[in-house]
Chain A
């Protein structure tokens, strides 16, 4: 009989193969698995221990789409069903005609390019992800829509929660402090729009700073100072 034993604390860095716990009472979650009676980490991550649930939150890696995620994507082409979209993940994403707008798109009368062309950016909702990893997107309902102008930057998807902040506090501060329109995709893409390119640049720098210093304390104050035009 294996003695029930946990080998890690909360918020500890783990890597693949690390034995996190032993005993059947411990449940693996996130990037963790059971091997025999052991719970093993399956990727680089941070532990999150709640009772007997041993979860590993990944600290790196490309975006893996989940249903319900809001993402920013770039139209890459059209097909009979609709359009193909690049959402910076390894799998193809599709935007079916029926999901591409909340008004009727008469694709028999007009060419596909009347509605979307390659290079257009969209703010989309992940409707579902099939077993074979086909991703279906929708741009039908607010706030999802085609994006006009603005620039798009890429950050690590694992930093998106920090950019959004607790209950959206960070993103709110970024919007108010810079006067820019901002949309954040779970897939690590951030869309920024403002008439004034210097304001856009301020926003880009603020977001890059959050990305690189997410673990440091006092980040909120540093960002506030940056937005006010103070030294970086």
Chain B
């Protein structure tokens, strides 16, 4: 962020990819894409692609991570070497460790960890193609995978980022807007109550701009939640209806 762009990012109210200020990229979500994982999801947000796999609840290994009263939630966010413009070296790094921690703090409030004492729930989040918004997309995918795994939760967790570009607050930054913008503000909420479970911010914004960002994001999260829900219903929809023989 903060790099200088040689072209304008917003022209006559339209962004580089034709979107309006408060428009987000198209989202496509498929639940239950993997056979081994207890729950899984493939999510595409613009060009960003994530595969989420959930295992659990299961025994904790190594045992020293076991918690007496609740499940140990492990989040493994990682980027495939080929997911970025410049290939990134495989293996954990400080950024992926930080993002794993932040995602864990967003998901934990929504999961009934107390119902699974002395167990582990692992959420793997693989970024297979990165074009900004990887952490928010990962959270959305994680939620669908957790639901697909049948894990008890208070609510879904839905996430999106807002930012500031050429002094305008916009929703869902794409790669260039992320690189050349003035601020980046990802949030995650539990949509039933609008409780905020993730909030980060980088850059320079007035308090009014922050409020505008929150309002824009929360509204968008409710739209995303519908799509998350639809993905689950699409996979399981057959189970409902009249009882079959």
Contact = CB atoms under 8 A, between A and B. Distances in A.
Interface of A: 11-13, 15-17, 19, 31, 40, 42-44, 46, 58-62, 90-92, 132-133, 158, 214-220
Contacts of B151: 43, 61
17 contacts: A11-B241, A15-B147, A16-B110, A17-B155, A17-B190, A17-B192, A31-B152, A42-B112, A42-B152, A42-B154, A43-B150, A43-B152, A90-B58, A90-B59, A90-B119, A90-B120, A132-B68
B57 A90 contact: yes
B150 A62 contact: yes
Contacts of A31: 152
B238 A44 contact: no
Max chain B Cβ within 10 angstroms of own Cβ: one of A11, A44, A220 = A44
B66 to A, nearest CB: 11
Nearest to A58: B150
Nearest to A17: B155
Contacts of A13: 232-233, 236-237, 239-240
A147 to B, nearest CB: 23
B229 interface: yes
Contacts of A15: 147, 156, 229, 232-233
Given A11-B243, A13-B233, A17-B191, A60 B148 contact: yes
A60 B39 contact: yes
Contacts of A217: 244-245
Nearest to B158: A17
Interface of B: 38-39, 56-59, 68, 110, 112, 116-120, 147-156, 190-192, 229, 232-233, 236-245
Nearest to A157: B150
A158 B242 CA distance: 18
A136 to B, nearest CB: 16
Contact of A11 (B229, B240, B245): B240
Contacts of B58: 62, 90
Given A11-B241, A13-B236, A90-B58, A132 B118 contact: yes
Contacts of B117: 132-133
Contact of B150 (A59, A92, A132, A215): A59
Nearest to A45: B150
Given A16-B147, A43-B150, A61-B38, 15 more contacts: A13-B237, A13-B240, A15-B147, A16-B155, A40-B154, A44-B150, A60-B236, A61-B149, A62-B58, A91-B118, A132-B68, A132-B118, A215-B238, A215-B239, A216-B238
Contact of A60 (B57, B118, B150, B243): B150
Contact of B152 (A16, A90, A91, A214): A16
A11 B110 CA distance: 25
A19 B192 contact: yes
Contact of A133 (B118, B153, B154, B156): B118
A158 B150 CA distance: 10
Contact of A44 (B59, B147, B154): B147
B239 A46 contact: yes
Nearest to B55: A62
Contacts of A216: 238, 244
A92 B56 CA distance: 14
A214 B110 CA distance: 30
Given A13-B239, A220-B245, A90 B56 contact: yes
B119 to A, nearest CB: 4
B154 A62 contact: no
B241 A44 contact: no
Contact of A17 (B154, B233, B238): B154
Residue of B39, B151, B191, B229 with most chain A CB atoms under a 10 A cut-off: B151
Nearest to A61: B150
Contacts of A11: 240-243
Contact of B153 (A12, A16, A214): A16
Contacts of A91: 118-119
A43 B232 CA distance: 12
A215 B238 CA distance: 6
A60 B32 CA distance: 11
Contacts of B242: 11
